[in-house]
Amino acid sequence: MIGPRGEYQIRYSQHAYVRMRAREIRAKEVREALRRGEIIEDYPNDVPLPSCLILASVEGRPLHVVAAFDDDRAQAVIITAYLPDPAEWSEDFRRRL
């Protein structure tokens, strides 16, 4: 998988699986977000790995994916994915209100 930070294998956290299922977000949509998305927030102090928030338009709807990139293992670890709430985000879903 080639994403915004290079070529990585994708690994999903248990939290991501649970949340994606509850929110009806498919792995295919997350892969597409990683492939075509834009990093809109960086979280360099997250542990155990720095992470970021990625925004993409997938199948006509905005999608946010929080992912950590393990460069040593060439893995993208999906922490969560969600459809941003328009009441909490700017019109373009890039900035929190």
- Is residue 89 predicted with pLDDT exceeding 70? yes
For 23-77, how does the pLDDT look when each residue is reduced to its tens digit (9 = 90+)?
A: 999 999 999 999 999 999 999 999 999 999 999 999 999 999 999 999 889 999 9
Return d(Cα 52, Cα 71) in angstroms, integer.
14
Dmax (CA) for the chain in angstroms is 38
Return the pLDDT at 87.
98
* Confidence band of 2 (pLDDT split at 50, 70, 90): low
Class of domain 2-82: alpha beta
Give the 3-state secondary structure of residue 10: strand
The verdict on pTM exceeding 0.85 is: yes
